[in-house]
């Protein structure tokens, strides 16, 4: 495929994605793929986002923007707008996601990525990045060079069906020797027994107190507002998670999400949104049935019981493994004490100077920030 002509007499300009750009975006995606970009490097094909489209009255929505060289698309990005509580004050933050530049396949356009980032910060200085698939990717490397604050959001997992885990956890089975050892451990029974012992030993602290009651809810109601009111003050930075926001993020007509109302001693202590997926030939999970704690909320003191209830539900859904990313130290500690195991995290948070200036000194606040998969673009896979 030949490269379209480049206009030399005008700079790259950023414009909202509108319908007459559709053919140029299609050409852009085709050039990326022809140039060897990863298969997931494909920008949205239409101006109306399938995930969180803008509509009247909704405070959480996406906008799509294009980097145009004449009429040729050289880059694109999406910006999610969402209200947060920051040190007790409501502020709108941006989430910068799906940034694609032709610079990843052509050095001639290597500066497009910087142009995209400059534009998003002009539109919303309090913009963060989350996800990005690891510190070694181009975007986090660029953000680090620009003195953004970056850290990996902790990843934890709980093995629910040890035999299937040993036989199917692809990321651990790529070495033939490890694959043989895992198969031997699975079929001998020593592996499942060892996993049970390890997780029971790690989770020996009784965090839950009285047993939790779990109710599968069709939507978030007044009880979710009560949870938000009771725990919002625990967290210096958190996306507003009242029922209005949650019903936008987790729409009623989406069958993936299971909304769990979790009660302790007769009071609504918190909630969790979970999802299960049967993957096939996944580079990490092979063909396991993966349970994910997508989002979760409650008082810090109730974190252990809420997490245990969510894991119990996922086990009842025949998940082989339960996974969770969480940035807040109290929730990470609760997972560790509840028997979760630590895995490598490629879920990266990055904050620009404008945001870290508010949360100063940032090193003090870093472990108190509240971010889960729901604050990134992880929900897009469930659309």
Q: Which residue has the tokens 């979970």?
A: 274
Select the more confidently predicted residue: 4 or 277.
Answer: 277
Select the more confidently predicted residue: 250 or 205.
Answer: 250
pLDDT in the model for residue 380: 81
State the chain's mean pLDDT as an integer.
Answer: 93
Would you place residue 10 in the very low, low, confident or very high pLDDT band (cuts 50, 70, 90)? low
Q: Beta-strand (E) ranges in the chain? A: 13-16, 61-69, 72-86, 89-101, 127-131, 149-152, 155-159, 212-217, 237-239, 258-264, 267-278, 289-298, 321-325, 341-343, 348-351, 369-370
CB 337 within 8 A of CB 92: no
Percent helix / strand / coil, the chain, rounded to 5: 40, 30, 35
How far apart are the C-alpha atoms of 169 and 134, rounded to whole Å?
A: 20
Of 107, 106, 53, which Cα lies nearest the Cα of 78?
Answer: 53
Residues in the chain: 383
Of 162, 166, 155, 201, which Cα lies nearest the Cα of 319?
Answer: 162
pLDDT in the model for residue 7: 43
Q: Give the DSSP per-residue string, 310-323.
A: HHHHHHHTT-SEEE
Domains and CATH numbers, the chain: 13-152 (3.40.630.30), 156-341 (3.40.630.30)
pLDDT in the model for residue 205: 57
Please determine, for residue 2, whether its predicted confidence score (pLDDT) is greater than 90. no
pLDDT in the model for residue 209: 46
Select the more confidently predicted residue: 267 or 8.
Answer: 267
CB 95 within 8 A of CB 79: yes
How far apart are the C-alpha atoms of 180 and 171, rounded to whole Å?
A: 14
pLDDT per position as a tens digit, 169-189: 999 999 999 999 999 999 999
Give the up-direction half-sphere exposure of residue 345: CA atoms within 13 A in the CB hemisphere: 23
Angle (nearest 5°) at CA 346 between 340 and 350: 115
pLDDT in the model for residue 210: 56
pLDDT per position as a tens digit, 272-293: 999 999 999 999 999 999 999 9
pLDDT per position as a tens digit, 190-240: 999 999 998 888 776 544 445 899 999 999 999 999 999 999 999 999 999
pTM over the 0.85 mark: yes
pLDDT per position as a tens digit, 326-344: 999 999 999 999 899 999 9
pLDDT in the model for residue 5: 46
Please determine, for residue 33, whether its predicted confidence score (pLDDT) is greater than 90. yes
Q: Give the DSSP per-residue string, 175-232.
A: SHHHHHHHHHHHHHSHHHHHHHHHHHHHT-S--S-SPEEEEEESS--HHHHHHHHHHG
* Burial track 272-305 (b if 16+ CB lie within 10 A, e otherwise): bbbbbbebeebeebbebbbbbbbbbbbebebbbb
pLDDT per position as a tens digit, 113-157: 999 999 999 999 999 999 999 999 999 999 999 999 999 999 999
CB 143 within 8 A of CB 131: no
pLDDT in the model for residue 346: 95
């Amino acid at each position: 495929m030949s490269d379209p002509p480049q206009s030399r007499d005008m700079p790259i300009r950023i414009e909202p994605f509108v319908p007459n750009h559709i053919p140029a975006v299609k050409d852009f995606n085709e050039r990326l793929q022809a140039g060897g970009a990863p298969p997931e490097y494909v920008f949205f094909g239409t101006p109306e986002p399938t995930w969180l489209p803008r509509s009247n009255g909704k405070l959480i929505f996406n906008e799509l923007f294009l980097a145009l060289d004449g009429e040729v698309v050289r880059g694109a990005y999406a910006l999610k707008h969402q209200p947060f509580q920051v040190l007790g004050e409501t502020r709108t933050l941006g989430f910068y996601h799906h940034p694609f530049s032709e610079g990843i396949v052509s050095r001639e356009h290597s500066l497009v990525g910087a142009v995209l980032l400059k534009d998003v910060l002009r539109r919303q200085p309090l913009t963060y990045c989350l996800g990005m698939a690891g510190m070694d990717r181009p975007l986090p490397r660029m953000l680090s060079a620009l003195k953004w604050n970056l850290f990996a959001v902790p990843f934890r997992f709980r093995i629910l069906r040890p035999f299937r885990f040993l036989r199917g956890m692809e990321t651990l089975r790529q070495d033939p020797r490890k694959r043989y050892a895992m198969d031997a451990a699975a079929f001998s029974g020593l592996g499942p027994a060892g996993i049970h012992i390890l997780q029971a030993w790690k989770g020996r602290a009784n965090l839950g107190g009285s047993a939790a009651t779990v109710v599968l809810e069709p939507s978030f109601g007044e009880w979710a507002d009560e949870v938000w009111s009771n725990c919002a003050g625990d967290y210096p930075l958190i996306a507003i998670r009242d029922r209005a926001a949650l019903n936008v993020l987790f729409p009623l007509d989406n069958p993936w999400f299971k909304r769990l109302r979790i009660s302790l001693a007769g009071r609504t202590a918190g909630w969790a949104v979970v999802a299960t997926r049967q993957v096939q030939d996944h580079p990490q999970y092979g063909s396991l049935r993966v349970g994910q704690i997508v989002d979760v909320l409650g008082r810090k003191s109730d974190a252990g019981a809420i997490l245990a209830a969510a894991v119990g539900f996922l086990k009842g859904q025949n998940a082989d493994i339960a996974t969770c990313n969480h940035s807040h130290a109290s929730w990470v500690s609760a997972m560790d004490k509840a028997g979760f195991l630590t895995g490598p995290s490629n879920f990266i948070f990055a904050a620009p100077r404008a945001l870290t200036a508010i949360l100063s000194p940032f090193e003090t606040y870093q472990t108190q920030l509240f971010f889960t998969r729901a604050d990134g673009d992880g929900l897009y896979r469930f659309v």
